[in-house]
Structure 1
Amino acid sequence: MNILVYGAGVLGSYLAHALKRGGNDVTVLARGKRAEELERNGVVVRHYFQLRTTVDRVRVIRTLEADDQYDLIFVVMKYSDFPSVLPILAANQSRHIVIVGNNADARQMQSYIEENSPTKKHVAFGFQLSGGRRYEDGRILAVRGGGQMVLGGLDGPIPFQPLLDKAFKKASYKLDYHDDIDAWLKSHIIFILVLNTVSFSPEGGMKKLDGDKRLLLEMIEAMDEGFRVLEAMDITITPAGQVKFIRERKRLVYYFLKLYSIIPIYKLIDGTISEMEALSSEFAQWKRATNSSTPSMDKLANQFFPHP
């Protein structure tokens, strides 16, 4: 299949690797130094657990023209970068698009693409359950050996699911279709905001959590507050068990966070301050709309964000 991966960061590169290994004709859209690295070296992945390196040659483009056509387009970017590519996606004639990453306003993105496209578009949304770090020489360090994506449509099953299944049939990669992907993405944002608010601390963030009982308990309370905001919006927390676990197994959550701060894997989770600030801004709108109070979440943000 002819597939475009729009975005060549850690997750986009790993997705391109998986699709290429699955026998697809893969093109990657990248710019600047990253485009040059891909043209020169291919997609280089250093697999964290397998202790091996793979190299995959892909076609590289720097712009998506209106008349370029692909069977599938995966847009893999930070939440704060999505708005800049929506007009480009709408103008392109390809019909099947999967927007992958943290997302607080999937409905608005889908509506923009559908309303501004000259051709009928089908849009799905997903999130990759993997992460890693890209080094200066272009290598990607993958946290997990196999890939996995949770994905779904906003208006029922994804119309082009057979195409997705075909693309990943021979890939070492799992697709997990979800009935309410918007609720899944919003629920996930609560964890992302709490964990990354602390990890982006200018004073070291997660490095100092071990032994800081007060801060760990503050993080647990902030998660509960975040879930209460979603509940006030009539959003079903998903997976359903996570909110019950946070509220009824706080001691276990405490030790999980403590362990998470010690082991090095958290350092490999790709994220940016600009994305966290954009998600935090969306969360603030949810709070205002529901007249909710989140003192612990607010305290963490004020304490750890470099730009409150």
Structure 2
Amino acid sequence: MSAKQNRILIFGAGVIGSMYAIRLIEAGFDVTLFARPNRFKTLRENGLQFKEKGTVKSIQVNVIDTLENDDVYDFIFVTVRYDRSESALLALKDNQSKNIVTMTNNPIGFSSWLDIVGNRLLPAFPGFGGQIKDGVLHARFLPKIIAATVFGEINGEVTERIENLAKLFKAAKLPYIIKKDMQAYLITHSVSDIAMMSVLYSENKIIDKKTARTRKMARKITVTLKAYLMAIQKAGVSIDPPILKMVLKFPNLFLDLFFMTWLRTKMVRDMMLSDYANNANNEIVQLSNDLMKFLSQDDIKSEKVLYMNKCPKKCSIRC
């Protein structure tokens, strides 16, 4: 599979979409970015700007703000927040492209997404992050052992399109992992995001940096994460990555120290706290609500999740 044979649409020109666009363009693929009005204007005027080794660079990218149904791509990557995923898929419903790769969390399963786009759906999760500041992308790459793009068929089969997607990522030198149970992976990842991110927003506002560094905040993460991991395990979900099973065995004190260290990192201070100003909390609330719907659907009775009541009372999530 050569780069010239592939047309790729990235639906969403935020951090994740922009990062994939850069890597795929550099690898020689035919990439188009679908952007909302403000971002569309910036990309048209300045190109895709990103900071690399202290220098701001720019790469030209084809950008659109409308998509015709007969504008067909080999792969469409949907790189929007979870709370915007359904509206994005509805926008793609009548497009004739055969492969729609959703790059986001999913704590409830794929039924509603399948109702919209059918078997074109290919669930995935991105392997990096960052922020866009003053129109410039500041990427944050992690080692493959910590983060790689994860994807797989819903039924776990390694199909031709999975193999083609793997070749695409390999050509772009993007680390990837093929999963046999994407639902388990995405539910587990949703749980960790809910636990780690919900504490950053309290009493309808972003917490200050000083509060974020406290033992109290770390303990809230510890208790919430353990509670949700226990709940999904009781629901029959395989915890993935398996290393998170160890969280249930670690003493709270050990986890508190770990999360105190995480809360004091530059990533949390300069990216996550500021990023909440851009509706990140809406995503966490939606993730939490849908996770609880999933647990209810699986007959997880209220007494099985009473431990969740230890979640911070002033947290924005309805535990």
User: Which TM-score band applies after superposition, normalised by the shorter structure?
Assistant: 0.7 to 0.9
1:105 corresponds to which of 96, 104, 108: 108
SS of the aligned residue for 2:128 comes to: coil
Question: Does the CA-based 8 Å contact 1:75-1:98 persist in structure 2?
Answer: yes
Pick closer, same or farther for the CA change 1:106–1:40 going to 2, 3 Å: farther
Which residue pairs with 2:288 in the alignment?
Answer: 280
* CA drift at 1:298: 4.2
Q: Give the % identical residues.
A: 25
Pick closer, same or farther for the CA change 1:190–1:307 going to 2, 3 Å: closer
Which residue pairs with 2:155 in the alignment?
Answer: 155
Question: Does the CA-based 8 Å contact 2:198-2:284 persist in structure 1?
Answer: yes
Q: CA RMSD in A?
A: 2.4
Structure 2's unaligned 5+ residue stretches are 1-5
Pick closer, same or farther for the CA change 1:306–1:192 going to 2, 3 Å: closer
1:262 corresponds to which of 261, 264, 273: 264
Which residue pairs with 1:129 in the alignment?
Answer: 127
Which residue pairs with 2:29 in the alignment?
Answer: 24
Which residue pairs with 1:291 in the alignment?
Answer: 301
**1:25-104 alignment, distance < 5 Å:** 25-47=30-52, 50-104=53-107
Structure 1's unaligned 5+ residue stretches are 116-120
* CA drift at 1:144: 1.6
Question: Does the CA-based 8 Å contact 1:207-1:261 persist in structure 2?
Answer: no
TM-score between the two structures when normalised by the length of structure 2:
0.85
**1:79-228 alignment, distance < 5 Å:** 79-115=82-118, 121-136=119-134, 138-144=135-141, 148-159=148-159, 160-201=161-202, 202=205, 204=207, 207-212=210-215, 214-228=216-230
Pick closer, same or farther for the CA change 1:306–1:123 going to 2, 3 Å: closer
C-alpha distance in 2 between matches for 1:54 and 1:194:
36
C-alpha distance in 1 between matches for 2:293 and 2:256:
28
Deviation larger for 189-198 or 103-112: 103-112
C-alpha distance in 2 between matches for 1:70 and 1:98:
12
Question: Does the CA-based 8 Å contact 2:21-2:31 persist in structure 1?
Answer: yes
C-alpha distance in 2 between matches for 1:228 and 1:307:
17
State the aligned residue count.
299
The one-letter amino acid of 1:144's match is F
TM-score between the two structures when normalised by the length of structure 1:
0.88
Which residue pairs with 1:118 in the alignment?
Answer: none
**1:228-267 alignment, distance < 5 Å:** 228-266=230-268, 267=270
* CA drift at 1:70: 0.4
Question: Does the CA-based 8 Å contact 2:122-2:154 persist in structure 1?
Answer: yes
Question: Does the CA-based 8 Å contact 1:97-1:123 persist in structure 2?
Answer: yes
